[in-house]
Structure 1
């Protein structure tokens, strides 16, 4: 699996949820956040102002724009540049499901239509690519793939349609991937900074792809440098500079992250989990897991067993 796909599958916990909100007339609401949820707000029709929680500069958001809140921060929304103070509880990110709400009376003017919601996360397994993003990421309209996803959300949320309960979570998953892609594109979002440069770097990008493709391989700095077609010393310096972690530090972190997912989401024996993340001995794996998380693998697994 490629790195971006791994980022999404490893951090997700549960099914994404959201709501379509149609606004008429003059309006302004505060949409509460949740630290356990990465939130989003996508504009289908109309324009509005978004006010960050931490008194940042308001953003003017238009049709086809998406604002991604990776750390679960709340924000205000209004049809005019004045920060609102009334909370819209219906927009609070939830666990799966999809709702529809209409506010105000049609007054002959165009409505403001948005879709908002969130992705419940396992913050302990969040990738540095995500944790390094700012409070809110404004992805502007322009990407054709993202536009197709938003068009699909518009069609599916306009009313109840057969199969909608199955299709909407898939569209929300696709939305997240397009937003994260945009964060790695300087022309669109450019918000992931070092990680955008790391993935674009031919050598470091190749080594990251190799680790995510085969975490069980007996990786060394020398082997990773060979994958990157760089000298060992040059590779180690460049990898650390771009990702903020030394090469083997990242390999160990990703292996432990992957092991957590296997222990939580599968019934594989500890020996098999150890083999899948590059440990030939379950004892060596258990020692590494305890050193990383303060408890052995089986005790960690029991916290998720009914």
Structure 2
């Protein structure tokens, strides 16, 4: 696996919240769901994303916004419109004074709203562990891709799939959301490569990129800095110095984070025991993996596997 592909395989939605929302002006919804990341694409009409701390961001038909949580923000037809609805954790919607609105605005399968002039599709990652901390830290509070800046068939496919109620549909939507996020990130970093995060640019470095590729291709191998240096043709000191400079952490720290990210993905498969997951990512036993997982991520593999990740728990 090349380094760039590996860095962008982090998103793993698990029962993501997908919704088609429809509004007529005036409209304003405050999003206070504490979710780590939400994607919003405009099918028809226009609006604004208004962070609590930061300038309002306009959205038009065909635009895509990636909004980084957990800080609240507002979606509205005008940037100064007072919120009429509030979305809370668990995607519970109320009026600003707390009256329930979920049933009132329900329009059927994954459809919601009091209008039809403006149509938004949104996909929300609900657990912090579903998107790596490395990706989240690389994003601005609101990332906007204008319709004329990128091209992807994924929004249209998501629109076609979001209202279906068929067996396995949740898994289909999860994977579509992951693909849409990866596509958006790739376009975002490519259009402004000089301002892309160091770990993203590092894949092009002949030394660090090779070291990343070695770790990503075979995370179960008992890598040492000596091994990686030999594989890249430089000294241990030179590799450690350049790797830390470009990636932002030493090689072994990065390897631990990568192994645990892979373990998190594998934990989604109930057929794999903890020992089996441990062997695949370079740990000698389930006990060793569990200790490392809890030390870095703040929860046990079992808690992560069942989705009981407390809000505020840090993720790699």
Q: Deviations over 1:117-162 (max 9, x none)?
A: 30223439734132342322222333222xx1112233445x6587
Contact 1:156/1:168 (CA < 8 Å) preserved in 2?
yes
Picking from 226, 230, 236, the partner of 1:232 is 236
Q: CA deviation at 1:270?
A: 4.9
Q: Deviations over 1:250-276 (max 9, x none)?
A: 112222343455456445455433332
Return the alpha-carbon distance in structure 2 between the equivalents of residues 208 and 76 of structure 1: 39
| Structure 2 unmatched runs, 5+ | 93-107, 309-316
Residue 115 of structure 1 corresponds to 121
1:178 corresponds to 2:189: no
Contact 2:35/2:128 (CA < 8 Å) preserved in 1?
yes
Return the alpha-carbon distance in structure 1 between the equivalents of residues 33 and 262 of structure 2: 25
| Structure 1 unmatched runs, 5+ | none
TM-score, L = length of structure 2: 0.73
Partner SS state of residue 123, structure 2: strand
Picking from 131, 136, 159, the partner of 2:137 is 131
Residue correspondence of structure 1 range 270-289 to structure 2 within 5 A: 270-279=274-283, 281-282=284-285, 286-287=287-288, 289=290
Residue 27 of structure 1 corresponds to 26
Return the alpha-carbon distance in structure 2 between the equivalents of residues 207 and 226 of structure 1: 10
Picking from 149, 153, 171, the partner of 2:158 is 153
Question: Are the structure 2 counterparts of residues 268 and 74 from structure 1 closer, same or farther at C-alpha, using a change threshold of 3 Å?
Answer: same
Return the alpha-carbon distance in structure 2 between the equivalents of residues 72 and 258 of structure 1: 24
Question: Are the structure 2 counterparts of residues 168 and 255 from structure 1 closer, same or farther at C-alpha, using a change threshold of 3 Å?
Answer: closer
Return the alpha-carbon distance in structure 2 between the equivalents of residues 225 and 231 of structure 1: 6
Q: CA deviation at 1:245?
A: 0.9
Picking from 241, 246, 256, the partner of 1:242 is 246
Return the alpha-carbon distance in structure 2 between the equivalents of residues 178 and 303 of structure 1: 26
Return the alpha-carbon distance in structure 2 between the equivalents of residues 61 and 302 of structure 1: 38
Contact 1:42/1:67 (CA < 8 Å) preserved in 2?
yes
Return the alpha-carbon distance in structure 2 between the equivalents of residues 191 and 91 of structure 1: 33
Question: Are the structure 2 counterparts of residues 65 and 93 from structure 1 closer, same or farther at C-alpha, using a change threshold of 3 Å?
Answer: farther
Partner SS state of residue 37, structure 2: strand
Contact 1:30/1:74 (CA < 8 Å) preserved in 2?
no
Return the alpha-carbon distance in structure 2 between the equivalents of residues 79 and 129 of structure 1: 29
Return the alpha-carbon distance in structure 1 between the equivalents of residues 268 and 276 of structure 2: 14
Picking from 54, 58, 75, the partner of 1:60 is 58
TM-score, L = length of structure 1: 0.75
Contact 1:31/1:92 (CA < 8 Å) preserved in 2?
no
Return the alpha-carbon distance in structure 1 between the equivalents of residues 275 and 143 of structure 2: 41
Q: CA deviation at 1:52?
A: 0.5
Return the alpha-carbon distance in structure 2 between the equivalents of residues 41 and 302 of structure 1: 29
Picking from 7, 11, 14, the partner of 1:8 is 11
